[in-house]
A = this chain, B = another copy of it.
Amino acid sequence: MTPLDYRRAGVDIDAVNESLRALKERIRSTFGPMVLGDVGHFGGLHAIPGDERRALVATTDGLGTKILLYAATGRHGDVGEDLVSHCINDIAVLGARPLFFLDYLAGDSLPPDVLVPLVGGFADACRRRGVALLGGESAEMPGVYPKGTYDVAGFLVGIVERDRIVDGSAVRPGDAILGFPSSGLHTNGYSLARKVLPEEGGSLDDRPDRLGETIGEALLRPHLCYLDPIRRLLDAGLARGFAHITGGGLVDNVPRALPSTCDARIRKGAWSVPPIFHLIRERGAIDEMEMFHVFNMGIGLVAMVPRSSTEEAIRAAGGGALAIGEVVPGTGRVRLEP
């Protein structure tokens, strides 16, 4: 079998990143004095006019090609939990509390048996988190989407005290790195996963021995929401930096929460990589570094805390977190070690 990587599965992350770098200046040219921070945070920070104390934080995201699995299996009602959790994590890692969410749904057609569970799922997910579903758009777009498919985008706005913004600048060498388990792939790497699992390796109903569940069950578990552990760590005054592990994996996301003078040393053996990732790696003959660059590999959130408070932080977060590494002097990179 030829080794597969993300580029061969149809996604060229490097080319996209190159284009986005060229665009950064044009995007920055729209920033007045109200924009706090630069391009590339997990969420964008904007002042509230006339309010020196607080800022708004906004993010937008989708579910990538995972949405094809929801459409194919008819589990439309889980889409909301998945996307709302993803968006909440993106602003929570900056120290913000979510206020309201809007959803954009578009598909070939949106018959009631699709639209009602879809929008209802967004409403239910928002209610569970105390977030208002403030608006949305549902667009039937015959010709844009293949029959039976749809796409979703979510937009979330939150609020944060400006002197409580968590941007990683407080992280220092010696800090401990905590990893919070993910529930699976969350919302990233599906173009590659779908290439090696359902398409070439069998159906979503296959139940490989080592997985203990069907491939569909493993792939369709919604994104975990880390709002509670993040708030607990913040309330305990123990969080120096957070990284939400999404597209680009630990390799690309942990540096977003590191000062340029620090590296993150992460011990790959510090947690059990869930079986679904082993299955993807083996069936696709995928290089291990490529796996860590595409998938979260079982860690959905990373927190940097003072080393002397490691145990206290794990307890404060409500349990479940693992010490997976440490911050060392460096240049803002991740070093994956055995």
Report which A residues bind B (CB closer than 8 A): 9-12, 15-16, 18-20, 22-23, 26-27, 29-32, 34-35, 43-46, 48-49, 51, 56, 58-62, 64-65, 67-68, 99-100, 102-104, 106, 109-112, 115-116, 119-120, 123-124, 126-127, 130-146, 149, 151, 153, 155, 157, 159, 191, 194
Contact = CB atoms under 8 A, between A and B. Distances in A.
A124 B26 contact: yes
Given A10-B109, A23-B119, A62-B141, 4 more contacts: A19-B115, A20-B115, A26-B119, A141-B191
Contact of A137 (B49, B68, B142, B153): B153
Contacts of A112: 15, 18-19, 22
Contact of A132 (B31, B68, B194): B31
A16 B104 contact: no
B102 A139 contact: no
A138 to B, nearest CB: 6
A159 to B, nearest CB: 6
A330 to B, nearest CB: 28
A36 B119 CA distance: 20
B26 A123 contact: yes
A123 to B, nearest CB: 4
Contact of A191 (B20, B29, B142): B142
A115 B46 contact: no
14 contacts: A26-B123, A27-B123, A35-B100, A46-B132, A48-B51, A48-B159, A56-B157, A60-B104, A62-B104, A62-B139, A104-B104, A106-B151, A141-B151, A153-B153
Contacts of A137: 60-62, 153
Given A20-B119, A27-B119, A127-B29, A12 B104 contact: no
Contacts of A60: 102-104, 135-137, 153, 155
Contact of A16 (B10, B67, B124, B138): B138
A237 to B, nearest CB: 22
Nearest to A125: B30
Top 10 closest pairs, chain A to chain B, by CB: A44-B134, A10-B142, A44-B135, A104-B153, A155-B155, A26-B123, A19-B112, A60-B102, A30-B126, A30-B133
A177 to B, nearest CB: 26
Contacts of A134: 35, 44-46, 58
A115 B27 CA distance: 13
Contacts of A155: 58, 60, 102, 104, 153, 155
Q: Which residue, of A68, A130, A153, has the highest number of chain B Cβ atoms within 10 A?
A: A153
A149 B153 contact: no
B123 A34 contact: no
A65 B144 CA distance: 7
A110 B16 contact: yes
Given A142-B10, A142-B191, A23 B116 contact: yes
